Structure 1
């Protein structure tokens, strides 16, 4: 089949590479426009655009996929199907209608659970034991289209969102290729999603990532892992934000939000058991081990985090 792949970030690359290695023909990609990056805020092409340009594939970068010029370019590529991984824009029906076999999305949850922009983060934050990836046909309603296939993945106790997403991207790439294969030979059929078990996973913003030290320690652990690497869990220290890396719940009691500085590690009190800080990134500094941060900041036990 002739495919036009839609995707933007690094997490979409395993699926693009798998499709390029398949029996199908990738004739172009759709991605988000170049975006400012780095201190110089220079415009940088998305990872998917960069990979496509290396291979000499046409790259379509619509500001919005409803643009008539974009749809004319897409139609000229004559795609049979448009596989999608983390493209990042809502598709109007006029664009969905261009490919005869539709747009097939690889979504990183077991639908109908965690429809939305941040399924991996929400699955960790909620304490789910298992998640996965699902292929489905895109329809107007958010992540509600009929499904083709699913894979499952156990969530490990120390998984960050970045860890889990990387595994799902690799495993999901094979699922997406198998789905496209099935559409090509007619061996796969879509099934409507169940009405029960629907949950939503909106984008997690910086305000959501602020740690409330009065929460239970295991909930703070989930929050930190869910927000790693982005947007990054954080707290206030002397009026400035510090990013908090992985934490470990320990069988010790420390007052809520209070730092307990030890020789080689740093504890912080929560609403239940204390947590051992892993790495900390202070404002304007590099990320470092919590003990090194404490020494550099000359911290003393009794200092409180989270105070403006």
Structure 2
């Protein structure tokens, strides 16, 4: 069955693991579809997607339609005559004309335990929401947003020290393993399919600038989860002296040092309570949060303790 012609669709590093697994198992990937090159960095130079870069390394033809549902996009995929389409974080919804192309259907490696966290940012939002576990779902694709029948799932715990970056790594590996485990059964028709319960569905839309803003009125744990859910993609941000001040790392104080003095408890959320070798401690809605890695406007990220050395932060300093 490895002679089955597969078209792979994916964009970020998450998808590279699944593409690599297919190739290493000897499957015939006849083409790769990924998002167009986008400008990146301060110089705004066009950069290939991780999937494109990897596909070119492996000598695979790459398609980059601006809109897959446009006639030229559909025609380009049709010309590859796929028997199966495999997607992983591609970033566009497949039109019905593409879904109906392959005889074995279209399957997707999705980074959540469906029907929870349908959408484009399931990994980040599961961390931001304080979930203790997430996972990967292998599913058949349908016209709706991540609404297709499920083939299999694997759970992955979210540890306290995990960030979106570390979870992307864990789920990338889990998704690739799940894909190649089930692919033989998908191709011989023995995989089966389980409809999703739409009543249990939640959604994970792509993150906006508002999602990155830290509201110091929120509880410490909520702020901590938001910071790690935004690392290393965008980072959480607040303001310091009227300028953007990014927060890349933080920790919730332990029970022993979480108690606030009467004077500290009277200060408004966002107030800097302490700064020094242990980081920058900030008043929150229910206590405090210790910042461990920060990035002042126009500067590189650095340890909060290093920043505190020359920043002259006092209890008169208020973030946000």
Partner of 1:188: 191
- Output the CA distance in 1 between the equivalents of 2:14 and 2:138: 15
Please report how far the alpha carbon of residue 166 of structure 1 lies from its aligned counterpart in structure 2 after TM superposition: 1.1
Partner of 1:42: 45
Please report how far the alpha carbon of residue 83 of structure 1 lies from its aligned counterpart in structure 2 after TM superposition: 0.6
Please report how far the alpha carbon of residue 273 of structure 1 lies from its aligned counterpart in structure 2 after TM superposition: 1.9
Partner of 2:286: 272
1:199-240 CA distance string (max 9 Å, x none): 111111121211111111111111111111222111010011
Please report how far the alpha carbon of residue 299 of structure 1 lies from its aligned counterpart in structure 2 after TM superposition: 2.2
1:209 correspondence with 2:216: no
SS at match of 1:246: strand
TM-score normalised by structure 1 residue count: 0.95
Contact 1:214 1:271 in 2 (8 A): yes
Gaps of 5+ in 1: none
Please report how far the alpha carbon of residue 101 of structure 1 lies from its aligned counterpart in structure 2 after TM superposition: 1.6
Contact 1:204 1:231 in 2 (8 A): no
- Output the CA distance in 2 between the equivalents of 1:220 and 1:36: 31
Partner of 1:293: 307
Partner of 1:122: 125
- Output the CA distance in 2 between the equivalents of 1:37 and 1:215: 32
1:82-108 CA distance string (max 9 Å, x none): 110111111111111111222211111
1:51 correspondence with 2:54: yes
- Output the CA distance in 2 between the equivalents of 1:73 and 1:195: 33
1:138-165 CA distance string (max 9 Å, x none): 1111100001110000110121111112
How many residues align structurally? 306
Residue in structure 2 matching 1:113, options 103, 112, 116: 116
Partner of 1:257: 270
- Output the CA distance in 2 between the equivalents of 1:35 and 1:65: 16
Gaps of 5+ in 2: none
Partner of 2:65: 62
Partner of 1:135: 138
- Output the CA distance in 2 between the equivalents of 1:67 and 1:213: 45
Query: RMSD of aligned C-alpha atoms?
Result: 1.4
TM-score normalised by structure 2 residue count: 0.92
Partner of 1:242: 245
Q: Which moved more, 1:255-264 or 1:138-147?
A: 255-264
Please report how far the alpha carbon of residue 259 of structure 1 lies from its aligned counterpart in structure 2 after TM superposition: 0.7
1:74 correspondence with 2:77: yes
SS at match of 2:318: coil
- Output the CA distance in 1 between the equivalents of 2:276 and 2:60: 56
1:93-131 CA distance string (max 9 Å, x none): 111111122221111111001111111122112222111
1:169 correspondence with 2:172: yes
CA distance 1:299–1:262, change in 2 (3 Å): closer
Please report how far the alpha carbon of residue 286 of structure 1 lies from its aligned counterpart in structure 2 after TM superposition: 0.8
Partner of 2:98: 95
